[in-house]
């Protein structure tokens, strides 16, 4: 492999000078610079990042830890992150926890060993070991979608998004609203969205029948199963609307409702959250909330880059959202 020493020798200069020419740091005579560049060109020399980052302690790589690559939300966030990062010459090192909490922690440490300049975590839960590990590794860190105490966090406004959806259903005249959530270990999706739903129902003096509350696991299938369970449990007193905390679960629920011959929205209205592609093209199109994940990703990346430059930034950023009213209500 060609190294900086080879180039130096061929150009009749020291490797110091080659380094300076390559990095535009310090003085290099026009003459030397030209000779060096010509040889770099000819040989196709590519400097070793390992050597560079061993020396400079910077790698130009940002680590990402995500719960599942295969959901649209995640993809859009990663896409946004990558857009911002690529512009500044950074690359992404990707790790996927497959929803395993322990792996979140492992990967933080692994990313440190790989000398990433910063880490962006798409967290699905908050626990002490996680927080402790983040402190320990002492790397510029950013959490997206979940508020982590002491960590710069970019969060969606889950509470108000869910509150708006609930209010909207109530204003449309619904009083019997079913709900499909996820585990409370996920404070954002599991906690806040359910809390908002319950708060708004209470504010409007509407009862929440626990038989109409389901807990899924983000998957389409679980939406299907929970809808089935809810209808089974409710006998003749059926809900007239369903609030599923993710589009995928809403879609699963709609699948079941259609199979059973229910009309959407006439018999049961359905809403989700996420603004997935599918929500737009299915029939009936799904009412949902757009979290602008791409933009969230872009913001996350540029915030992290600002941290790398030691700029002072706030600890918490709340993102905006937009209700998309469609045919399912």
Partner DNA sequence: CTGAAAGCGCTTACAG
Give the helix ranges, DSSP H, for 127-276. 128-137, 158-171, 193-203, 220-234, 247-259
Neighbours of 68 (CB within 10 A): 15
**Peptide bond between residue 119 and the one before it cis (omega within 30 degrees of 0):** no
Q: Binding of a second copy at residue 61 (CB under 8 A)? A: yes
By C-beta, is 44 or 173 nearer to a second copy? 44
By C-beta, is 44 or 173 nearer to DNA? 44
By C-beta, is 213 or 271 nearer to a second copy? 271
Q: Which of 12, 29, 54, 320 forms a contact with a second copy (CB under 8 A)?
A: 54
Segment (H or E) for 64: strand 61-66
Residues 6+ apart with CB under 8 A from 50: none
Q: Binding of DNA at residue 31 (CB under 7 A)? A: yes
In residues, how long is the chain? 329
Q: Binding of DNA at residue 25 (CB under 7 A)? A: yes
Q: Which residues of 278-291 are buried (b: 16+ CB within 10 A; e: fewer)?
A: bbeebebebbbbbb
Q: What mask, x for binding DNA by CB under 7 A, covers residues 41 to 70?
A: ----xxxx--xx-xxx--------------
How near is the Cβ of 93 to DNA at its closest, in Å? 18
Q: What mask, x for binding a second copy by CB under 8 A, covers residues 237 to 266?
A: --------------x---x-----------
Q: Binding of a second copy at residue 160 (CB under 8 A)? A: no
Q: Binding of DNA at residue 32 (CB under 7 A)? A: yes
CA 190 vs. chain centroid, Å, equals 15
Q: Binding of DNA at residue 102 (CB under 7 A)? A: no
Question: Among a second copy, DNA, none, what does residue 134 contact (CB within 5–8 Å per kind)?
Answer: none
By C-beta, is 18 or 245 nearer to DNA? 18
48 vs 60: CA distance, rounded Å: 13
Using only C-alpha atoms, the chain has a radius of gyration, in whole angstroms, of 26
DSSP single-letter state for residue 57? S
Instruction: Answer positive or negative: Cα dihedral of 197, 202, 205, 210.
Output: positive
Q: What are phi and psi of 269, to 5 degrees?
A: -85, 150
By C-beta, is 26 or 207 nearer to DNA? 26
Question: Among a second copy, DNA, none, what does residue 84 contact (CB within 5–8 Å per kind)?
Answer: none
Q: Binding of a second copy at residue 86 (CB under 8 A)? A: yes
Q: Which of 113, 128, 173, 232 forms a contact with a second copy (CB under 8 A)?
A: 113
Q: Which of 27, 128, 205, 281 forms a contact with a second copy (CB under 8 A)?
A: 281
Neighbours of 40 (CB within 10 A): 20
Q: Binding of a second copy at residue 92 (CB under 8 A)? A: yes
| DSSP conformation letters of 95-157 | EE-TT-HHHHHHHHHHHHHTT-SEEEE--S---HHHHHHHHHH---EEEESS--TTS-EEE--
Q: Binding of DNA at residue 5 (CB under 7 A)? A: yes
Where does this chain bind DNA (CB under 7 A)? 1, 3-5, 12-17, 19-20, 22-23, 25-32, 45-48, 51-52, 54-56
Where does this chain bind a second copy (CB under 8 A)? 44, 46-51, 53-54, 59, 61, 69-70, 75-76, 78-79, 82, 86, 91-96, 109-110, 112-115, 136-137, 251, 255, 277-278, 281-283
């Amino acid at each position: 492999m060609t190294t900086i020493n080879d180039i130096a020798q061929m150009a009749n200069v020291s490797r110091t000078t080659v380094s300076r020419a390559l990095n535009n740091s310090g003085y290099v005579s026009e003459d030397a610079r030209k000779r060096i560049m010509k040889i770099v060109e000819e040989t196709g020399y590519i400097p070793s990042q390992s050597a560079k980052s061993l020396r400079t302690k910077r790698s130009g790589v940002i680590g990402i830890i995500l719960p599942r690559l295969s959901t649209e939300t995640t993809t859009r966030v990663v896409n946004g992150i990558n857009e911002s990062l690529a512009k500044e010459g950074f690359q992404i090192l990707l790790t996927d926890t497959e929803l395993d909490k322990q792996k979140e922690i492992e990967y933080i440490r692994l990313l440190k060993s790989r000398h990433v300049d910063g880490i962006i975590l798409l967290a699905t839960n908050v626990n002490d070991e996680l927080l402790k590990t983040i402190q320990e590794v002492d790397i510029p860190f950013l959490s997206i979608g979940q508020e982590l105490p002491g960590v710069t966090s970019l969060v969606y406004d889950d509470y108000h998004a869910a509150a708006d959806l609930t209010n909207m259903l109530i204003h449309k005249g619904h009083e019997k609203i079913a709900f499909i959530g996820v585990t409370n270990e996920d404070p954002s999706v599991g906690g806040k969205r359910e809390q908002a739903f319950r708060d708004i129902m209470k504010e409007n003096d509407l009862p929440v029948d626990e038989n109409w509350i389901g807990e899924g696991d983000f998957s389409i299938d679980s939406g299907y199963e929970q809808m089935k369970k809810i209808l089974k449990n409710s006998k003749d007193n059926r809900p007239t609307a369903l609030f599923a905390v993710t589009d995928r679960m809403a879609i699963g629920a709609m699948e079941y409702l259609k199979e059973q011959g229910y009309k959407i929205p006439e018999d049961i209205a359905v809403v989700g959250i996420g603004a997935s592609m599918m929500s737009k093209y299915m029939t009936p199109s799904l009412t949902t909330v757009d979290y602008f994940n791409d933009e969230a990703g872009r913001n996350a990346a540029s915030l992290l880059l600002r941290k790398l430059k030691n700029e002072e930034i706030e600890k918490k950023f709340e993102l905006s959202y937009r209700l998309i009213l469609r045919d399912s209500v």
